[in-house]
Every structure is written in structure tokens, then in C-alpha cells.
Homo-oligomer: A and B are copies of this chain.
Amino acid sequence: MPECLVFRVPTRHPADVSGLEALIESGAVAAQEIVAVFGKTEGNGCVNDFTRPLAVMALEAALGARLGLPPASVGARVALVMSGGTEGGLSPHLLIVARREGPMAEGRALAVGTAFTDDFLPEEIGRMAQVRATAAAVGRAMAAAGLADAADVHFVQVKCPLLTSARIQEAASRGESVATHDTYASMGLSRGASALGIGLALGEVADAALDDAAIGTRTDLCSGRASASAGIELMRNEVIVLGNAPGWSGPLRIAHRVMRDGIDFSAIQGALADLGLPTGGQLPPEASARVVALLAKAEPTRDGLIRGQRHIMNDDSDINATRHARALVGGVAAAAIGRTDLFVSGGAEHQGPDGGGPVAVIARVGPQEQTRSA
């Protein structure tokens, strides 16, 4: 019976794999068991954030050495999802997701499945080709996780590509036009297309409502469980599905809510309550220690307001709006959890409502909760 394990290790810089290596050396996890690595790196999270490829290069070297693979082959086996931006107080860290044979158990437990699309052409990014390929990959990842019911899926992370000037030129040289010439904007379109693909796979978004023009504009179309990060270091979509599935064992469970805006503290507390954690205020240290990971999306509202009050994210030409949004949601989440190594990712296009986004919590549950169906 499979068990899904999640380890959280701090990093001292984007290329720091010492925590991962110590974890493997301690015997807590074997390199062969690792199916995905989520990383929060300390770049700007925008177009020219090279902390993501740096982290990927370091992880590929470290995992390749232990798997007996050349670095370039690691990505075919392990999904490496780097999310740039640790604004405010967020702390750079890695989440190591592994799958191993565990003891037999009843009920449901945390389950994971991964899948990849093929590489996209620049002109496919932010368009229906990306939506449909993502939806198909989500289906494959769910099958891999034994998640037959979309209702059991609590979080779908996608790492997706972006457009650069060079990629736009390459497409133009073949006579193809791209979805946008603004490289920063391409990140939003890529995330949005990926999220709509997730919503399509999970039945949250109707196929008939979708076309190229809807991507990035129809904010009413969204997934409450999608999380997409765009990065310069890949050209395909990498999909990781997390849920509570029958047939899996172990003490970990996942819960999620949709934050209706960036300061929706109650949504986070709702997810904590689902996992049997106290919600009177900030988690006390012993409860905080049971939280293995918090994953959340952050974005500015389009109308420039949070609960009727103006924010300046969209008008700030010194700091990009997603950087402000990550800092805000990171503060709200740290207020709840009492810790700062939280996976808050920016740009929530079609991921929850405008200005809000999904939040998921993975926690160790007690013996009592383990026997209940989550």
C-alpha cells in the first residue's frame, strides 16, 4: 500500500541542496522514492528570475548523482517545481514529496501523482493548446495517484513556461504570432491557461466556456484547487496532483479552502479545522509542528481594491504586483501558522476568484483522525 511522504527542508541559497542530501543520508527518504520537489527560491518570481533554473540545476546534479542518472535525465522522473519570490518574511525552502510502500491502513490518506505535457511551442503558451494539454496531464496524474473522484483532489500544482524576447523572436522567425509580446504578461497567460486546464479536468470549468479569448479575461472561470507557477527554465507543463485517496496509508492528510481575497484569514483557519488543528488564533508551537506544508496562491485584485480599500500593487512600477501579493498572503498565512516557510506562489489567474486563490494545508493527523475518512 503506498504512502506519500512530505519533508520540508530549509535552503541557505537557491543552489543549496545540503538539506536534501542530509535527508537522504539520514535514511528518512531514498532518492528513488522522490517524485516531486517544490521549491520556494528567493528571486523576483518574474521574468528574469534565474534562481529557479539555478535551483533546478543544483537539484538535478544532486539527485542525478544519487539516482545514477545524468542531470538532464532527472526531470523525466522527478517533477521539479520552483516558485520564485520570498517577499515579506517568506523563507526559502524545499518540499520533498516521496512515494513508498507503507503499512496497510483503512480510510484515506495523502496521495500524489505526477504527469508532464510535451514541450510547448512559444505560440501555444497562454492559449487553448496549453489548456487542453494540461487537462490531459491532470487526468494522467490523477490516475497515477488512484484519485478516481475529482472531489478527492485538493491541490494541483503546475509548473509552466513563459515567453522571453528570444522565444518570441523564434516564433516570429517561423511566421507565428504569440499570445502577448509583454514577457511579464506571458507569465500570467501561461498560469491562467494552466489553471483553466486544471479546472477543466476537475469539472470546475465547462469546456464550452473556453477559448483563447477567455484566457486571462474571464475571471469568473476558475479552479479552486489550481496552483500554477511560470518559470523561464522549462517549456512544458509539469503537473503534481495532491489529494486524499483510498488505498494510501500514513499520517498525512490534505485540506483546502479558497481565499476570497488576500486577507482571508478565515479560509486558512477553515483548512486547519478540517485537519483537526486549533483555530483560536495563531497555531501554538506544538500544533504548528504538525503542519508539514501550506501552499497558497496570491495575486492583486484587478480593481485595485481589497475589501473596498485601495492597494497600490497594480500602479507600482518599482515592485511587480505579484511580489506585493506574495508578501501580503505570506504575512496572513504566517499569522495563522506561526511560521514563515510557507509555499506562497504569485499570480493566481483563474486560480480562485479575482484577488483570491486556493490555499491547501498538509498536516500530520492524530491516531483518531487517521481512522476517520478525511
Contacts and interface: CB of A to CB of B under 8 A. Distances in A.
Contact of A324 (B13, B87, B92, B182): B87
Interface stretch (A144-152, A301-309, A356-364): A301-309
Interface of A: 10, 12-15, 42-44, 46-51, 53-54, 57-58, 61, 71, 86-93, 164-166, 169, 181-185, 232, 262-263, 265-266, 269, 279-282, 302-304, 306-307, 309-320, 323-325, 327-332, 334-336, 338-341
Nearest to A169: B303
B309 A340 contact: yes
Contacts of A166: 12, 304, 310
A50 B57 contact: no
Contact of A281 (B14, B279, B306): B279
A164 B324 contact: no
Contact of A91 (B92, B183, B306, B320): B306
Contact of A327 (B54, B266, B328): B328
Contacts of A266: 281-282
A179 B333 CA distance: 36
**Most chain B beta-carbon contacts within 10 A, residue among A53, A87, A312, A336:** A312
Contacts of A88: 87-88, 324-325, 327-328, 331
A317 B317 contact: no
Given A49-B317, A320-B317, A42 B304 contact: no
Nearest to A51: B50
Contact of A87 (B46, B303, B327): B327
B53 A48 contact: no
B87 A309 contact: no
B328 A13 contact: no
A188 to B, nearest CB: 10
Given A88-B327, A309-B341, 17 more contacts: A15-B54, A15-B57, A47-B315, A47-B316, A49-B317, A87-B327, A88-B331, A89-B328, A91-B310, A165-B315, A169-B304, A263-B340, A266-B282, A328-B334, A331-B334, A332-B335, A335-B336
